[in-house]
Structure 1
Amino acid sequence: MAEAVPVRCPACLRENGYTAPVFPCACGSPVHPPLDLAAPPVPLTHRTWSDTWVTVRCTTCGRESEWPHPELGCGSCGTVVLIAVHPLEATGTPADPAGPPSAAVRPGLGGPAGDPAGGLAGGAAGRRPAHIPPPPAAPVPRPAFRPVTIRTARDAVATAALYLRWLGFRDVRQPDGRPIPAATVDLRAPGLVAQVDPTTAPAGLRAVECVWLNGLTASATSVYFALAGYTEEARARADDLGIPLFVMDLTGMPQPVNDPADALVGPDA
């Protein structure tokens, strides 16, 4: 995977680690937006679909393609910021102050590898006495989440459902019956109540309290996903109620923005 770079939040001045997304070019080579770390990140206060794409040139075949503009949700205050990208040069390849792309960025190498059994079966140690139980098997690492690019509100809902399945929830679906007209979309699973906000405005206090009440009624875990982040009141209330909050960028990678979300994801994500 590409190395994480520090990005300072302009609102609370906390540094967050950010890894540039890698996209597949039509020729099969990986491409990533050339980050301009010398330029300060810009808070995202109003999202427009036309301004959230950036042109990236493949260094292998020269093809220029549109990909989501790099953005990051602050893990401290929840502010969503746009990360500057070097513009395309008239000739040659996009300027990249970090030098040539790392050899570690290769398709297919992002997931965990290795022997999950940990070499427990060793013939040199001899046979184990029957009264001694075998040691517990090492836990199998969770595979890396494979994001799906978000281009529409429907893509945002599908991404949230995929991420919840990756977290271990089964039978994630939209509730049956005629949906009530609303900006948010409900997702349900056994023991789970989730809401997805694909709008361009930050989720507010009422939205967090509503998903909490729905989870309380169903005796289920409540989770909230938003594209445009959260207001300070919403984040504070979610922390009080223990509601996991996630922010999604257009690369399709949900990011936890509070402690309950970190706890839900777990240490092996």
Structure 2
Amino acid sequence: MESLPVRCPVCSRDHAYLTPVYPCPCGSPTAPPLMRGAPVEPITHRTWDDDWVSVRCHSCGRRDQWPYPELCCPCGTVLRIPVRPVATRGFTPSAPPGPPPAPLPRTAAQPRPAFQPLVIRTARDAVSAAALYLTWLGYRDVVQPEVRPTSRIDLRAAGVIAQVDSTTRPIALRDVECLWLNALHTSVSGVLFSLAGYADDARSRANGLSIPLFVMDLTGTPRPENGAADALARTGP
């Protein structure tokens, strides 16, 4: 992955931004071409068109729309990373594309035993309860850091990261977007757990990004709050 030094214009914090890589339908990894030296732009207003960028596959020449590269600074500012525009002429594929790999048949999920929750008395208990639930869903090697990182990611496992909010305020739109960006950067899925629920705009954004939202009560039992969470609870990862 290409690395780009980025300085937040709001707090002057320096970051090393890693370009997200996406699989083209031909099977080749594809990434937005970043513009080195160009200033980053704080996002103060969003439109659907601004959230996507055209990217051309260097192997087959296919042009697709991918999420615009963004970075969530710990100061709370979301930064848009400049991207070189796609050339419309003079492209020569590096190799003839082969057919996309055939999808593997999905096997029937094995019945899971009933989830055994962990009673929540502290913020740490909330993280532990979410870790138990991810393990119950079928994620492997669920790990919780001893100290919460600046990215606010509380749990990591094979193929997923999760944020657990044990405060009394509903999760905000920015929390959803930061989790989504962190998941994109590491090519995994993101899941949110909250004790106080979600703001309306945060819920709407999560639905559009297919991010599972769960609400936990003090018994430690997560409850699906959107379609993505329902699907995850039914079939697992």
Question: Under a length normalisation based on structure 1, what TM-score does the superposition of the two structures give?
Answer: 0.45
1:156 corresponds to 2:90: no
Asked whether the equivalents of residues 185 and 197 of structure 1 are also in contact (C-alpha less than 8 Å), the reply is: no
Residues 45-124 of structure 1: matches in 2 within 5 Å?
Answer: none
Partner-residue secondary structure (3-state), 2:228? helix
The runs of 5 or more residues in structure 1 that have no matched partner are 1-136
| 1:172 equivalenced with 2:136 (yes/no) | no
Aligned pair 1:202/2:177, yes or no? no
Structure 1 segments (4+ residues) deviating >2 Å: 137-140, 178-182
SS at match of 2:111: coil
- Cα distance in 2 for residues equivalent to 1:138 and 1:243: 23
Rounded to whole Å, the distance in 2 between the matches of 1:209 and 1:139 is: 31
Q: Secondary structure at the match of 1:266?
A: helix
Give the Å deviation of 1:267.
5.8
In 1, Cα distance between equivalents of 2:145 and 2:235: 30
**CA offset digits 1:27-46 (Å, max 9, x no partner):** xxxxxxxxxxxxxxxxxxxx
What is the count of residue pairs matched by the alignment?
130
Asked whether the 8 Å contact 2:153–2:161 carries over to 1, the reply is no
Higher relative contact order (CA 8 A, sep 6+): 1
> Structure 2 unaligned runs (5+)?
1-106
Identity %: 60
Matches within 5 A, 1:203-242: 203-242=171-210
Counterpart residue type for residue 137 of structure 2: L
What is the correspondence of 1:12-23 to structure 2 with a 5 Å cutoff?
none
CA RMSD for the aligned pairs? Answer: 2.2
Contact 2:109–2:235 (Cα < 8 Å) also in 1: no
Q: Which has the larger radius of gyration?
A: 1
Alignment of 1:3-42 (within 5 A): none
